[in-house]
Amino acid sequence: MALFFDEAVRRPLLDYVPHWIKPNHLSLGRVVLVLPLIFWREKPAAAVAVVIISGVLDLLDGPLARARGEVSRFGAFLDATADKAFVWSALFFACREVFPAWLVWGVVAVDAALFAIRPVKLARRLSVNATVWSKVKLWLQMIALGLALTRNEWLVTPAAGVLGIALYTAAISLAAHLRDLFRKRA
């Protein structure tokens, strides 16, 4: 699936990324975008634009690394860290009044478990590649954040539903990683 996606992204977008920009720069850019997101949380157009830019950077970093032969464990770690930093910061500092606390803490708990399982799998020489469910989860989280940050009552209400579906896909991803972990031990 990653190769299909890489080809779909490579042609229209990757050719326009200057060679001096590395995939890790894109991941770090997502971490830096937390600050304008928090600053502009009450300005719907600006806040949604920041979420969209973060999503595009996330869309590009993996295919860019694979296309240029710059895939690394550090890059994969940085990508996962940037995902969590952006989503968690948005949930706690930009959207805290929009989502129920149980939903926010559920997302954070499952994301933290997914993050914590990586070093265990690495130590056992197991793949830590993101599952399809993890990718779907992140995109659903970004959609939920974008909807919530519009501050439009017609869009804010479905945002919690979308975030709930993201939590469900995160749980499926966690179950898949745990299955791999325990299946390989036997």
- pLDDT of 183: 83
Collect the ranges in the chain with pLDDT lower than 50: 186
pLDDT 10s digits, 34-57: 999 999 999 999 999 999 999 999
CA distance 173 to 133: 5
Q: Which CATH architecture has domain 2-185?
A: Up-down Bundle (1.20)
pLDDT for residue 3: 62
Find, among 4, 50, 7, the residue nearest to 30 by Cα.
Answer: 50
Give the angle subtended at the CA of 64 by the CAs of 48 and 121, to the nearest 5°.
90
Structure tokens at 10: 């490579």
pLDDT at 81: 93
- What pLDDT is attached to residue 16? 81
